[in-house]
Structure 1
């Protein structure tokens, strides 16, 4: 596994590493990982070392690895390369993608229900994140009168800018926040807790982090996804293609719900999720 940061510096990286360890234990194999690999030269050198160690499956824990893996795949036809959230593939290059629109929608439903000021703040990393569009739609579906303030960092890691955006949105009346970036979600949640406001967790179930603040979480189980990819690879069924996963594959889910959320509304969301699993239709698409 290649990571563009350190194993423990974000929730995303930690869960990816946990997936690697699960694969090691389940299949009794040797695994290797390298941290802070984010340039073309570093990626090439790391793959060269992996090849010398007999590695035949390489996970790139980010979308930055797509181009490099596609180029390297020509020279290493016996290695299968897997990376995240990209549109580039080859015979031995697979792109794994979370269909995050729905999880954002259900998180938005909760935010739209629980806001008292009718102002909800979304702090995103990048404009293309599908969970942000879904969140917007979910808020508006439940609460058409709500105003959404949306801003982007154009980075996964700029925590200072995220905190600055939070303060501005708070001053504009936002009382529910969706920090859609795992590097800064914890800091925003802790600040919301200090200010007596609500937040929606991101990537993992962050309810325990601030039980009075986190209404629910939009969860992506990347560790489970790695296990699925390894299982498919071991069976010789992992293809060079774009693979998309959602609630149906049980790698996306919603976290524990806050006790302040009405019971009838929790049931409504649960039913909506089950219907989405069956029909792939969100409530605003019925």
Structure 2
């Protein structure tokens, strides 16, 4: 009788275990969705580099799909990833917020990650760069280097926090500066961005922050032709012309991807909204132009170091 009871309890224990998910959170395979292409040399390319970093660091298979800009294509891609055994999916942009909100319910064994939005679901995480501070320090450089006391921001959307940050930083460094902000209302409308730039040049703007990853390269090339200055955006764009690009506000997406994958592999990746800034070593200023005074460079790097320690910008101290 005792042996029979032990056998029954053992069976019940094993059966109850079968009802629990076997998923442990360990990284298996990783998928990446990009709305445009991995070949844009800016945002999409950074996502792809992040994916390759994960492949190298964790020795896992990785997959990517381009042109994922609508619900149907995203649903098909995620289903394909699921069949391949992917358990961590990066949606490389804010547009994936609405897609992942519903899709995540269908795939509880996949963790979904996207950028700059509200994460809904136990297996969904939003990564948010603290871009206000990034813009602030870029604005300081613009305020220091302008000769006409007119600087411009060609941004994509009004919600971009780096825009207000840039304005504040420029005014902090130079209270005589005029900051003109115009919006393209798209990430990669090159014609619209260049039209705005032409008008800014006519108005005497001599430093421009093209805060849109799809058009910032053509904008910088035009500024180079005109002998004017730029603040690079997303990646270090000093290679476009050290005499033109004063510095760049860099978001190290590849480092962030590796950090997220590491947390996920350890089972410590949280759902909801996560924020990252200079103190996480995923935001930085790029190489400075030789035109930027050495004393000012030392000052702004000291300000950034203080921000890393205190979370306070120079105008907040």
TM-score by length of 1: 0.99
Q: Number of paired residues? A: 286
Answer whether contact 2:242 2:290 (CA < 8 A) is retained.
no
How far apart are residue 218 of structure 1 and its match? 0.3
Q: Paired residue for 2:262, among 231, 244, 250?
A: 231
Counterpart in 2 of 1:268?
299
- Map 1:207-286 → 2, pairs under 5 A: 207-286=238-317
Structure 2 distance, partners of 1:106, 1:239, is: 29
Is 1:49–2:111 an aligned residue pair?
A: no
Is 1:18–2:55 an aligned residue pair?
A: no
How far apart are residue 260 of structure 1 and its match? 1.6
Is 1:117–2:148 an aligned residue pair?
A: yes
Counterpart in 2 of 1:77?
108
Structure 2 distance, partners of 1:25, 1:149, is: 43
Q: Secondary structure of the residue that 1:148 maps to in structure 2? A: strand
Structure 2 distance, partners of 1:146, 1:161, is: 25
Structure 1 distance, partners of 2:299, 2:38, is: 37
Is 1:6–2:37 an aligned residue pair?
A: yes
Runs of 4+ in 1 over 2 A off after TM superposition: none
Q: Secondary structure of the residue that 2:65 maps to in structure 1? A: coil
Structure 1 distance, partners of 2:311, 2:120, is: 26
How far apart are residue 88 of structure 1 and its match? 2.4
Structure 1 distance, partners of 2:229, 2:187, is: 22
Is 1:152–2:219 an aligned residue pair?
A: no
TM-score by length of 2: 0.89
Counterpart in 2 of 1:31?
62
Q: Paired residue for 1:63, among 79, 85, 94?
A: 94
Counterpart in 1 of 2:202?
171
| Distance 1:86-1:10 versus aligned 2 partners, 3 A rule | farther
Answer whether contact 1:202 1:218 (CA < 8 A) is retained.
yes
- Map 1:124-163 → 2, pairs under 5 A: 124-163=155-194
The runs of 5 or more residues in structure 2 that have no matched partner are 1-31
Q: Secondary structure of the residue that 2:49 maps to in structure 1? A: helix
Answer whether contact 2:119 2:271 (CA < 8 A) is retained.
no
How far apart are residue 3 of structure 1 and its match? 0.6
